[in-house]
Amino acid sequence: MAHIQLSIVITIAIFLLQLLSGTLSSTFTITNKCKYTVWPGALSGAGTAPLSTTGFTLEPGQSTSISVPTSWSGRFWGRTFCSQDATTNKFTCVTGDCGSGTLDCSGSGASPPATLAEFTLNGAGGLDFYDVSLVDGYNLPMLVSPQGGTGGNCTLTGCVADLNNACPSDLKVTESTNGEDVACKSACEAFGDPQYCCSGAYGTPDTCKPSSYSMFFKNACPRAYSYAYDDGTSTFTCASADYTITFCPGPTTSLKSANNDQHPMAVNISAGSRQRMRPAFIGFAVVVLALIWQLW
């Protein structure tokens, strides 16, 4: 009888912990609105556990959702013009390749140039910090939309313009087989000059200033990171949000406030409910487990 009761306690405890983990995670929905296939990649930051997937395929119009722990930090990006060698089975991409040789990136990051969506969840003050970065160059349009969040500077960000054709000629990456413009390098990658890389004597905000190359990115995409010290206008914060990352959102997409794109009351109620739910649910779970243990 005692073994049965103990089994019930363990089963209920696992169930409650599973529910609790759901309240302590965010959902990232990744959508491909490009007219071509995109192979998203994901890299977790140092000391952060890898996600359930680190690389997958999105055909045009497809979406996938990933559960991300609220303590997670890392980045997402899109790989393009990917193929698998028929002889070696090695998987490679023309842009954003992570060098793993497989669909999963397995702890490897994007090879520049690549448009990056960067996140630190549940950081200082309980806020999520996020940005879209062109510091490592650009390969495709990207939009990051917080869903159901509140507080901080909780708004859309990204680079929705197609910059590959407009890219300065000395930064442009052209696909060798058909001559198509497929990416735009950063000046740091293209020239390796400390003044563009914000390194050496240019390693501080006072000495590393925007260049004509970084201003090309900034003028086209005002909310995206254009160079290393561009955080003043390019870092956004939100509390208790889910996120949608959209590749090729469309040339008519405008970076309006997230609260203007949804019913404001719905945003506030959703966010407030999530914030209150976490401590309330923890207390409920503790009380239930204590009662079960006393009865046992």
DSSP for the chain reads -HHHHHHHHHHHHHHHHHHHHHHTEEEEEEEE-SSS-BEEEEEEPTTSPPPS-SB--B-TT-EEEEEEETT-EEEEEEEEEEEE-TTT--EEEEES--SSSSSS-TT--PPSS--EEEEETT-GGG-EEEEEE-TT-BSS-EEEEEES-BSSS---EEE-S--TTTS-TTTEEE-TTT--EEEE--HHHHH--HHHHT-GGG-STTT----HHHHHHHHH-TTSB-STT-GGGT-EEEBS-EEEEEES--TT-----HHHHS-HHHHHHHHHHHHHHHHHHHHHHHHHHHHHHHH-
Residue 283 tokens read as 């207390």
The type of residue at 239 is A
> Dihedrals φ, ψ of 184, to 5°?
-135, 115
Domain ranges of the chain: 27-186+212-262
Q: Can you read off the two tokens belonging to residue 173?
A: 């990456």
Strands 181-184 and 116-120: unpaired
Pairing of strands 242-247, 25-32: parallel
Do residues 134 and 226 make contact, with C-beta atoms less than 8 angstroms apart?
Answer: yes
Both tokens of residue 281? Answer: 């649910």
| Residues 185/171, Cβ–Cβ less than 8 Å | yes
Global pTM value = 0.79
User: Which pLDDT does position 149 carry in this prediction?
Assistant: 85
CATH superfamily of 27-186+212-262: Thaumatin (2.60.110.10)
Distances (CA, A) of 40 to 14, 32, 147, 154, 208: 32, 9, 20, 24, 32
CA atoms of 137 and 96, how far apart (whole Å):
10
User: Given this model, what pLDDT does residue 164 score?
Assistant: 97
- Please give the pLDDT value at position 178: 83
pLDDT number for residue 25:
83
Alpha-carbon dihedral 15, 16, 17, 23, rounded to 10 degrees: 120
Task: Residue 214: name the closest of 249, 163, 254, 250 by CA.
Answer: 163
pLDDT digits (tens), the chain, 296 positions: 444 454 444 444 433 343 343 447 899 999 999 999 999 999 999 989 899 999 999 999 999 999 999 889 999 999 999 999 999 999 999 999 999 999 999 999 999 999 999 999 999 999 999 999 999 999 999 999 999 888 878 999 999 999 999 999 999 999 888 889 999 999 999 999 999 999 999 999 999 999 999 999 999 999 999 999 998 889 999 998 999 999 999 865 554 433 333 322 222 323 333 333 344 344 444 444 444 445 45
Q: What residue type is assigned to position 148 of the chain?
A: G
